[in-house]
Amino acid sequence: MNACAVRVDEMTDVTLPSLGESVTEGIITQWFKKVGDTVARDEPLFEVSTDKVDSEMPSPAGGVLTQILAEEGDTVETGSRVAVIDETASAAPSTPSTPSELSAPSSPSTPGPSSAKQEQEPGPVPPSSAQPVDAKSADVVNGVVVSPVVRRILSDGGVEPSTIQGSGPGGSITRRDAERAVLDGPAEEVVVALSNGRRRMGQHMAVSAQVTPHGFVAIEADGDVFAKLDSLGRATRDGVAISDEMLVSLAAVRALAEFEFLNATFTGEELVVHRTVNLGFVRSVADDGMLVPVVHAAAGLTLRALARRVSELGERVLSRHLTTDDLMGGTFTVLGAPSVNTLWTEPIIIQPQVAVLSVGAVRQVPVILNENGGATVGVGRRLVLGLSFDHRVCEPVAAVSYLERVSQLLAGLDVEGER
């Protein structure tokens, strides 16, 4: 996806393009070029962050970047101008490119840069905490640059930089801030700014909780199929790892063929029931909330194919190389067990969907076995399946019926044949 361009004579306005459904704005997180730099068409120009994905925006034209209208950290609406490119200009040389240029003396009639500097700066400037910090030699804490001098003062005083509210530009920690913190001791309270991802995740979840009449049901399901998986090996014939979540997701997708009203999304007041299952998987992103990558057209996939698709998306989540398409179009979502000790979770529905299936951890528990006409106690595997549902399209009886069907399909999976 390229940044949009509007051409006026030879000047090209760079605008923030549409970044997907329901995305109306983005935050400029980084410029790869500065004013005066030459940029080639389709060369990465800037990075934008939304609640769905971080994307590099390629330049819509080649030329010289003459204006930057949105700084790093600015929130910009889609369609807004963020920069201007002159397609006819050429970049001014910033450094000599040949040995002769390096040794060429300044013109007698024009004072060189060094002499001008000497005229303007009669003497050395004493160091102070107000001097600019070299970013290459500084650390960053909570998005704020901490100079080596400040870092050393705080380290010697046993004070963590994250506990200090800086008084410098942009909240930076000055030398005076550091010395005062060491003198007074660490603060009892720490102000932590929310990341862009967590802030937007909270906004979406709050909206969902307000507009959707949530319901929730849970059942205990037979998990003996996971013992079969363990005996065969938890990998496909292609060597892709198979998780408990993948087995449940396969059964969940197949059960949706009989419960189509759960594979749906709202458009305003209209319910759209989808024939194609686009299955979302909730994935935690360290220090930045969560993402929900989507396996498109999941119906009809074998266990081997689903495992490969989920594994590929998981790798892109870790490397932060997800595209906007990877995060769009979901019609139903699965939330795997956050830990091996999780009994169940009660997730909030992801708008505009109408349901989300939660998977508890598979546990070994005592079960009643009916063998040879008698009942005995043995060891079995069980897990809790939960469903958060929208009361506008479903009620508890139908929700439980769906979970029971998922449980039946899960118990009957041909793991050996599909892996």
Residue 125, in any domain of the structure:
no
Per-residue pLDDT tens for 21-60? 667 788 888 898 999 999 988 888 998 877 666 678 889 9
Which pLDDT band, with edges at 50, 70 and 90, does 183 fall under? confident
Residues 172 and 269 in one domain: no
Residues 228 and 323 in one domain: yes
- Residue that is last in its domain, among 49, 70, 86: 86
- Distance between CA atoms of residues 225 and 384, nearest Å: 14
Residue 98, in any domain of the structure:
no
Q: Is 125 a residue whose pLDDT tops 60?
A: no
User: What is residue 9's predicted lDDT score, i.e. its pLDDT?
Assistant: 60
Cβ atoms of 68 and 31 closer than 8 Å: yes
Residues 243 and 358 in one domain: yes
- Residue that is last in its domain, among 29, 61, 86: 86
Domain count, the chain: 3
Q: What angle do CA 104, 106, 112 make, to 5 degrees?
A: 130
Residue spans of beta strands (DSSP E) within 164-317: 214-222, 264-267, 270-273, 279-281, 283-284, 290-291, 294-295
Residue 284, in any domain of the structure:
yes
Residues 35 and 144 in one domain: no
User: What is residue 164's predicted lDDT score, i.e. its pLDDT?
Assistant: 82
Lowest mean pLDDT among 103-107, 215-219, 267-271, 362-366: 103-107
Residues 53 and 169 in one domain: no
Q: Is 45 helix (H, G, I), strand (E, B) or coil?
A: strand
Q: Region of 23 please: left (phi>0), alpha (psi -120 to 50) or beta.
A: beta
- Distance between CA atoms of residues 261 and 389, nearest Å: 11
The enclosing H or E element of 356 equals: strand 355-359
Cβ atoms of 150 and 180 closer than 8 Å: no
Q: Is 149 a residue whose pLDDT tops 80?
A: no
CATH number, domain of 154, equals: 4.10.320.10
Per-residue pLDDT tens for 278-314? 999 999 887 678 899 999 999 999 999 999 999 999 9
Residues 60 and 170 in one domain: no
Residues 201 and 267 in one domain: yes
* Entry pTM: 0.62
Structural domain boundaries, residue 245? 197-418
Residue 401, in any domain of the structure:
yes
Q: Could you please report the per-residue DSSP string of 226-266?
A: HHHHHHH-SB-TTS-B--HHHHHHHHHHHHTTT-GGGSEEE
- Residue that is last in its domain, among 21, 54, 86: 86
CATH number, domain of 58, equals: 2.40.50.100
User: What is residue 115's predicted lDDT score, i.e. its pLDDT?
Assistant: 40
CATH number, domain of 294, equals: 3.30.559.10
Q: What angle do CA 161, 162, 167 make, to 5 degrees?
A: 70
Residues 162 and 275 in one domain: no
Residues 154 and 208 in one domain: no
User: What is residue 378's predicted lDDT score, i.e. its pLDDT?
Assistant: 87
CA distances in angstroms from 258 to 115, 396, 403, listed in the order given: 83, 16, 12
Question: Which has more pLDDT, 198 or 276?
Answer: 276
Residue 149, in any domain of the structure:
yes
Q: Could you please report the per-residue DSSP string of 117-163?
A: HHHH--SPPPP-TTSPP-GGG-EEETTEEE-HHHHHHHHHHT--GGG
Q: Is 380 a residue whose pLDDT tops 60?
A: yes
Residues 143 and 210 in one domain: no
Helices 244-255, 225-232: crossing angle, 10 deg rounding: 130
Helices 244-255, 303-319: crossing angle, 10 deg rounding: 120
Cβ atoms of 403 and 288 closer than 8 Å: no
> Residue 352: is the preceding peptide bond cis (ω within 30°)?
yes
Per-residue pLDDT tens for 228-250? 999 999 999 999 999 999 999 99
Residue 203, in any domain of the structure:
yes
Residues 301 and 345 in one domain: yes
Residues 161 and 274 in one domain: no
